[in-house]
Structures are given as structure tokens and as C-alpha cells.
Amino acid sequence: MSTFLLLTITGLGLGAMYFLVASGLSLIYGLMGVLNFAHGAFLTVGAYGTWFVESKLGGIGSVTLRFLLSALVGLVVGGVFAALVELVLIRPLYLRHIEQVLVTVGLSLATVALVQGIWGNDARLYAVPGWLHRTTHVGGAAIPNDRWIDIAAAVLVLAGLKAFLRYTRYGLIIRAGVENRAMVTALGIDVRKAFTLVFAIGGLAAALAGVLSGIYFSEVDPGRGTSLLIFAFIVVVIGGLGSITGSAVASVVVGLAQQYVNYYSSGVGDLSVVLLLALVLLARPATLAGRTA
């Protein structure tokens, strides 16, 4: 029972990271029709930004303070980087889907190469508060504390996104834009501002996933963004392109499936996720939740 509980919480923690990446991906595709293969780069930039700032802060304050400050900078850098990508690279290519794919794939590869060029291929250790590396006993299972942080962060981001989409003017524009972008512009709304905002929010959430993945794996490496992005894409497809709630549900399903199958079937968790995707697409091609932000 304790093993099952540990697998469950760990699966939820993994799913939380998938959700943080997938939520931005999903909104960007839903609103703009952009398949953003550079989304993993936002995660990488956030993770490395946090690691870099933390390494430069030296002995200033406590480990916790240094980590929080570094993470804050990492998140801002991830969000700003994403907004710049939208303004400089994506905006001139709206409705040119092939070129968008090429430019985002290129940016993804270039970001990995740049990080490797500056900091090398080796993983960099994350200096995080000691509490995160300890465990909390629940139902006989020793649960690593960082799993709770992952889950709490994802729940907060989900609640924040839902509130943003429901109660703000820009949220209204995004929800409408996911349904019919042309009609939004025909109401006199400059939807491009919403595009930049969605990229920035997506970048921020991906950067948060980068920081949390650094804690989860205790290190960050140049390929982290790419590897998480693959599963985030699967989550988005299963959950419904453009649906935040669908992404949240699919993230939990994928994270749990991966953990359970990995443990009970000798490490074929990744394969099980791909099979799950195939099953969902066969059973319901429109995916779980359709296009609803």
C-alpha cells in the first residue's frame, strides 16, 4: 500500500510538471494554431536561468532565500523570452504553419546547442533548500517533499489560469479566440496582444516546470526541455488542443500511468503513454475535451 501511495504521489508530481508545460502549449495552439516546438526551450531557459543566478549569488542570505530569488528570476526570464519569441519570430509568420514549425523546431535545437556551448553537456546540480530533499511519511510511505511542491504549484497555476480566463478581459478574449479568432478581430479587438500575453504566460509556466524539474531530478541538463516537451505534447493531444482542464486531467492520467506501468511492468512506462495516446485517438479522435480554454 505504501508503495502504491508513493507511486501515486510521484506520478502526480510528474503529471504536475507535464501540466505546467502542456497548459501553455495548449493555449498557444488553441488561440493561435501554432504548434510550438520551442516550448521546451522556455523550460530550459527558466531552469538554467534559475541555476545561473543561484550560482552567482554565492553566500548571500539563506539557501532558501537564494533559491527563491533565483527561481523568481528564472520565471521572469522564461516569460520574457517566450514573449520575445512571439514578437520576433512567430508574429511575422501567422497563418504560415509550415514556416512556424520550422522556426520553432530550429529555435528548440538552437537553444539546446547554445546551452551546451555555454555550459557544456554535463548536468548542473541544483542547490535547493534541504527540506525539499527530505521526506514526509504519509500512510506508511516516505514521500519526497518536492512532490508536494510540484503538485501544489500545478494546482495553483491551474486555479490561476482558470480564474484569469474566467474573470479578466484578456481571459475572455482568449476563450473567444480559441473558438473563432477571426470573429474576435471583427469585434474590433487586437488579438495580437492576447497572442503575446499567452506566449508569456506559457513561457512562465514552462519556466516553472523547468525549476521544479531541477528540484525533482536534483539537476538540470540541456535536453530537459525537449524530453518533457514530448510528454507535454502527448498530454495536450489527449486532453484536447486548447483545453486547460483537459490538459490537467490528461497530465494526471499520463503521470500516473507512467509511474504505475514503470514499476509494475519493468520500465515500459514511456511506451504505455504512447499506447495510451494511440488508444485515445482511436476511441475518440476529437480527444477528451475539444477546443475550450
Partner 1 sequence: MNTPLLAVRDLHVRLGESHILQGVSFDVPAGGITALLGRNGVGKTTTLRAVLGLVPRRGSIRLDGEAIERAATHGIVRRGLGYVPEDRDVFAELTVEENLRLSERNGSARYDLVYDLFPELLERARQRAGTLSGGQQQMVAIGRALLNPNRLLLIDEPTKGLAPALVADVARVLERVAETETAVLVEQNLGVVRRLARAIVVLDQGRVVHTGTVGDLDDERLVHRLLGVGHAA
Q: Which residues bind partner 1 (CB under 8 A)?
A: 172-173, 175-176, 179-180, 182-191, 292
CB of 92 to partner 1, least distance (A): 14
Q: Which is nearer to partner 1, 31 or 212 (CB)?
A: 31
Q: Which is nearer to partner 1, 13 or 171 (CB)?
A: 171
- Rounded to the nearest 10 degrees, the angle between the axes of helix 39-57 and helix 191-217 is 60
CB of 193 to partner 1, least distance (A): 10
CA 235/CA 121 separation, integer angstroms: 28
Q: Which is nearer to partner 1, 186 or 283 (CB)?
A: 186
**3-class DSSP state of 137:** strand
Q: Which is nearer to partner 1, 187 or 282 (CB)?
A: 187
Residues with Cβ < 8 Å from 184, sequence gap 6 or more?
173, 176, 177, 191
Q: Which is nearer to partner 1, 148 or 164 (CB)?
A: 164
Cα within 13 Å of Cα(204), Cβ side: 17
CB of 185 to partner 1, least distance (A): 4
Length of the chain: 293
Helix (H) or strand (E) holding 236: helix 224-239
Q: Which is nearer to partner 1, 223 or 290 (CB)?
A: 290
Measured on CA atoms in the order 167, 175, 255, 3, is the torsion positive or negative?
A: positive
Angstrom distances, CA of residue 257 to CA of 15, 39, 268: 10, 23, 10
CB of 266 to partner 1, least distance (A): 43
Measured CA angle at 16 (ends 125, 9), to 5 deg: 90
Name which of 137, 37, 43 is nearest 89 in CA terms. 37
Following DSSP, what letter does each residue of 200-235 receive, concatenated?
Answer: HHHHHHHHHHHHHHHHHHSEE-TTHHHHHHHHHHHH
CB of 284 to partner 1, least distance (A): 19
CB of 18 to partner 1, least distance (A): 24
Q: Which is nearer to partner 1, 136 or 168 (CB)?
A: 168
CB of 166 to partner 1, least distance (A): 9
